[in-house]
Structure 1
Amino acid sequence: MQRCGWVNEDPLYLAYHDEEWGVPVYDDRKLFEFLVLEGAQAGLSWYTILRKRENYRTAFDGFDFGKVAAYGEDKVAELLFESSGIVRNRLKVASAIRNAKCFQEVREEFGTFSNYLWGFVDGERIVNHWRELSEVPVSTDLSDRLSKDLKRRGFNFVGTTIMYSYLQAVGVVMDHIVPCFRHSELQK
């Protein structure tokens, strides 16, 4: 069975590739989870963050954006000094809290974050047909526009490369390469 070249043989990574990556997500809590995790990935590998995902779920109250938006200095200190299973970077922790507040503002304006996000593609996912991993871009006009709009709304750790990874992860963009078994499954 052929898979995309970025995945290794770790069962956790295989499950992520085979069951999650590129599958359309409409649930706001899951969309917030990926926003936090993609921001945490900046400067690191996705595999590193994926291995810490359960720790993030625990540390960030199951990615309940309402709870995260209300975090104060005590919770920040706990995350930085007691949560050894996450990336304990002050800027990334502060970003998760700030982004939770901005996430709620987007929900107030659009009803859901999902409506906002999927509005960038008129509700239709982009299915690419790359033959090789080297063809897959690191950013596109879509990720540029999303990044720019999120930054305008006060979000951070949402650069265009991070946003392209986000769009791939939540299935707005389906970038499994054509030889990968998931490409034919997800293009339907």
Structure 2
Amino acid sequence: MIIGEDGLARPAWAAADPLMRTYYDREWGLPVTDEQGLYERICLEGFQAGLSWATILRKRPAFRAAFAGFDPDVVALFGTADVERLMQDPGIIRNRLKILATVKNAQATVELRKDGGLVDFVWSFRPSSTPRPTEVTDIPTQSAESVALSKALRKRGFSFVGPTTMFALMEAVGMVDTHLLGSHRRGSSGIWPG
């Protein structure tokens, strides 16, 4: 933990960069319970694979513009011309497989509405307990639930939803609380006690 100028303790990844600090303080680990927000986070976690989250966060406004605000109904209709347009967009990560996955994930999100929707589906994998890390090395990168969620989403047609990526999603949307026990954010999701 690093104590900031404001006297608050944060992990190293959230301590130096103002953008990451704001993300950590105001967004990371808070519940996301709307379809569009959850679809966006699934896609951005997929784009992050192999890259830093800071890179994705800096490009998030461009991603939102490129993918119609991550409206699944709009993105589900993207065709070849849209993919080629996105491959020319310098504001986003121009990875064809990840772009195609974002379209495929939109289609799968729309399809999942027939069975209760993306939010209920994803949140049904919330574990019965959460890690209680005192050091960064105590934080797992996967869990039985993230493995199960990954498999279930793949069966439903989603891509770029591996177990590690899904654990990162679960952390980001408050399904698990991996804030270190000394963090001012521990327990801030309202789902898990501090």
Band of TM-score, shorter chain: over 0.9
Contact kept? 1:5, 1:133, Cα under 8 Å: no
Q: Cα gap change, 1:56/1:125 in structure 2, threshold over 3 Å: closer, same or farther?
A: farther
Structure 2, unmatched stretches of 5+, are 1-7
> What are the superposed Cα offsets for residues 73-100 of structure 1, whole Å, 9 maximum, x if unpaired?
111111001x111000100000000011
What RMSD over aligned residues (CA atoms) do the two structures have, in Å? Answer: 1.4
Residue number in structure 2 paired with 1:97: 103
Higher relative CO (CA 8 A, sep ≥ 6), structure 1 or 2? 1
Q: What are the within-5 Å matches in structure 2 for residues 42-61 of structure 1?
A: 42-61=49-68
Amino acid at match of 1:150: L
How far is the alpha carbon of 1:30 from its aligned partner?
Answer: 0.5
Amino acid at match of 2:160: F
Q: 2:122 aligns with which of 117, 122, 142?
A: 117
CA distance in 2, matches of 1:159, 1:52: 22
CA distance in 2, matches of 1:24, 1:127: 14
Residue number in structure 1 paired with 2:83: 76
Contact kept? 1:39, 1:162, Cα under 8 Å: yes
Contact kept? 1:22, 1:170, Cα under 8 Å: yes
Identity over aligned pairs, percent: 41
Contact kept? 1:23, 1:174, Cα under 8 Å: no
Q: 1:156 aligns with which of 137, 148, 159?
A: 159
Structure 1, unmatched stretches of 5+, are none
Contact kept? 2:30, 2:188, Cα under 8 Å: no
CA distance in 2, matches of 1:165, 1:15: 18
Using structure 2 for the length normalisation, give the TM-score: 0.90
CA distance in 2, matches of 1:129, 1:16: 21
CA distance in 1, matches of 2:32, 2:158: 20
Q: Secondary structure at the match of 1:182?
A: coil
Contact kept? 2:177, 2:187, Cα under 8 Å: no
